[in-house]
């Protein structure tokens, strides 16, 4: 008997876009859950195929991540060729607005790439970043090389805020505020001279073993992510052996809990000092910004890291919301026509700029970095205007 075309015995053909389906599913899962929390089986389930079928396309999860990153950051090899600042802002916003996942991929997932791939990607980002300089100089011909580089990294951070998941406001609210912040930052007066500043010397450390461990843990969590930081790494960085380490903390969760408590207390000390020592609202906001910047290196990652255990992440985010309310309130008092939703988005944007610029090591190690960053943040907060 001839076989009907509809017969179940007919071999099924793979969809031509199967690989693209896998890349899209993997990208969305990595952004939503974090690379360490996504398995190949989960990606296969999302696509509707078996794990063995997935492995025919990608040999392992690392290879899949490399392909996701390559697929989404190919535009880094297309430098911006705009000649005016306004044109450049609109060009880059158009490129990013339909790719809201880019910011979170860059901020959280590239750390899991093999070292060579990670360094190459960051090199390409630096080259692309330099293509923004001619348009910035059209607006600010007075800028020297050092300030020009700092502001281009700030501009890049602001542009990424178009897609940041943590800024939950609709695009109709967020996009005008990002655009306004981009124009405000282009006019900021930086406080340091435009010559390469010396690097900060290695910090001194406390005698207390427990404090050294907390400093080490916060730094390791920020660099590697909570999931990929081990107790052994925390101890080694603090020069504390295994048995001694466990006499201070039961496990990694216990360390994280202590880091969160320590960070929260430090933030509120900064709030109290800013309010108590200021004569005006604007001065209080300035002091608050300056108190947060040195703390952000060991605090900002907690809010964004999707690998942090749910219960502790929720507690950290609750603490952050309460803290951010102080910024929002001061901003509204300094700018009475600013609504609470607008003020909150502007504060969130400012906090992301702080976190992002701390991730550029050669910038953040400069002795002038904190002062210049404070001026950039205050421009975002006080000079940005919604359209």
361-379: average pLDDT = 89
Beta-carbon-side half-sphere exposure of residue 186 (alpha carbons within 13 Å): 23
List, as own/partner pairs, every contact residues 220-223 make where C-beta atoms lie below 8 angstroms and the sequence separation is at least 24, other chains included. Answer: 221/256, 221/259, 221/301, 221/302, 221/305, 222/297, 222/298, 222/300, 222/301, 223/111
Q: Is the dihedral of CA 250, 253, 256, 257 positive or negative?
A: negative
CA-wise closest residue to 209 among 136, 258, 281: 258
Angle between helix 209-224 and 252-276 (nearest 10): 100
Locate the domains of the chain by residue range.
18-72, 74-185
**Is pLDDT above 90 for 355?**
no
Q: What is d(CA 338, CA 332) in angstroms, rounded to the nearest whole number?
A: 6
pLDDT at 198: 61
Number of H helices, E strands in the chain: 20, 0
| Structure-token pair, residue 49 | 């195929």
Q: Is 288 in a helix, a strand, or coil?
A: helix
pLDDT at 163: 83
Q: How many CB atoms lie within 10 A of CB 354?
A: 24
**Is pLDDT above 70 for 66?**
yes
* Residue 286 to residues 75, 184, 281, Cα–Cα distance (Å): 37, 16, 9
321-339: average pLDDT = 93
**Is pLDDT above 50 for 3?**
no
Contact 232, 242 (CB under 8 A): yes
121 membership: H or E segment, kind and range:
helix 115-130
pTM exceeds 0.85: no
Cβ-based neighbours of 198, under 8 Å, separated by 6 or more: 366, 367
**Is pLDDT above 90 for 340?**
yes
Q: Summarize pLDDT for 285-325 with one digit per residue, the tens.
A: 999 999 999 888 766 665 556 556 667 777 777 888 899 99
Of the ranges 112-126, 215-229, 355-369, which is most confident? 112-126
**Burial of 106 from C-beta contacts in 10 A (0-12 / 13-18 / 19+):** buried
Q: What is d(CA 277, CA 130) in angstroms, rounded to the nearest whole number?
A: 40
CA-wise closest residue to 161 among 1, 387, 361, 347: 347
**Is pLDDT above 50 for 10?**
no
User: How does residue 19 score in pLDDT terms, banded at 50, 70 and 90?
Assistant: very high
Domain with residues 18-72, CATH architecture: Orthogonal Bundle (1.10)
Scanning the structure block, which residue is given the tokens 């505020």?
A: 177
**Is pLDDT above 50 for 140?**
yes
**Is pLDDT above 90 for 103?**
no
81-104: average pLDDT = 89
Q: Is 87 in a helix, a strand, or coil?
A: helix
pLDDT at 229: 87
55-66: average pLDDT = 94
């Amino acid at each position: 008997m001839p076989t009907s075309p509809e017969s179940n015995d007919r071999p099924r053909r793979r969809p031509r876009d199967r690989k693209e389906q896998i890349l899209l599913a993997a990208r969305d899962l990595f952004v939503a859950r974090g690379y360490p929390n996504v398995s190949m089986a989960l990606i296969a389930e999302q696509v509707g195929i078996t794990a063995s079928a997935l492995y025919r396309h990608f040999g392992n999860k690392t290879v899949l991540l490399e392909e996701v990153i390559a697929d989404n950051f190919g535009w880094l090899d297309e430098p911006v060729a705009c000649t005016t600042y306004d044109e450049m802002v609109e060009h880059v916003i158009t490129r990013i607005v339909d790719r809201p996942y880019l910011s979170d991929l860059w901020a959280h997932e590239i750390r899991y790439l093999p070292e060579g791939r990670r360094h190459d990607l960051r090199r390409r980002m630096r080259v692309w970043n330099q293509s923004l300089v001619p348009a910035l100089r059209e607006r600010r011909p007075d800028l020297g090389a050092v300030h020009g580089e700092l502001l281009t990294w700030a501009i890049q951070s602001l542009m990424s805020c178009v897609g940041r998941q943590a800024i939950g406001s609709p695009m109709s609210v967020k996009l005008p505020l990002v655009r306004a912040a981009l124009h405000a930052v282009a006019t900021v007066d930086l406080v340091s001279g435009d010559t390469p500043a010396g690097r900060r010397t290695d910090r001194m450390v406390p005698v207390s073993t427990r404090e050294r461990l907390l400093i080490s843990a916060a730094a390791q969590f920020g660099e590697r992510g909570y999931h990929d930081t081990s107790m052994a790494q925390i101890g080694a960085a603090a020069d504390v052996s295994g048995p001694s380490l466990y006499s201070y903390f039961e496990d990694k969760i216990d360390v994280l809990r202590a880091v969160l408590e320590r960070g929260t207390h430090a933030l509120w000390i900064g709030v109290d000092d800013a309010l108590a020592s200021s004569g005006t609202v604007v001065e209080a906001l300035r002091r608050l910004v300056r108190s947060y910047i040195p703390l952000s290196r060991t605090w900002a990652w907690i809010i964004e890291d999707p690998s942090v255990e749910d219960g502790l992440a929720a507690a950290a985010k609750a603490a952050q919301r309460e803290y951010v309310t102080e910024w929002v309130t001061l901003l509204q008092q300094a700018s009475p026509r600013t609504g609470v939703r607008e003020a909150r988005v502007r504060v969130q944007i400012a906090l992301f700029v702080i976190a992002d610029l701390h991730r550029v090591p050669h910038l953040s190690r400069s002795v002038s970095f904190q002062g210049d960053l404070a001026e950039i943040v205050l421009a975002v907060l006080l000079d940005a205007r919604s359209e």
